[in-house]
Amino acid sequence: MTRVTIAEARDQLPQLLGAATSGESVFISGDDGQLFRLVPAGSATGPVGTPQAGSCRGLIELADDFDEPLEELREYME
């Protein structure tokens, strides 16, 4: 992880861009204490981390009664 001030980032921008591109976490701290993260936005071939179909398989589980009416709303449904 790299953390630099805005002034340091101005002087080291090419190195910081290279570090962010290679996957390193790069943080720039502002004069007012705000913290910014430098991340690659994409490339000529497309954005970084483009979702692929099925890439979240197994990460989400739905309850068996997911689509059943909620008991709290029963009076509004009658």
pLDDT tens digits, one per residue of 14-52: 999 999 888 889 999 998 989 999 888 765 555 556 777
Structure tokens at 20: 């962010």
CATH architecture of the domain covering 1-40: 3-Layer(aba) Sandwich (3.40)
Taking all residues of the chain, what is their mean pLDDT, rounded to a whole number? 85
Please tell me the distance from the alpha carbon of residue 8 to that of residue 14, in angstroms, as a whole number.
Answer: 12
Q: Where are the domains of the chain?
A: 1-40
High-pLDDT (> 90) share of the chain, %: 35
Q: What is the pLDDT of residue 46?
A: 52
Q: What is the pLDDT of residue 40?
A: 81
Query: By the 8 A CB rule, do 27 and 2 touch?
Result: yes
pTM listed for this prediction: 0.52
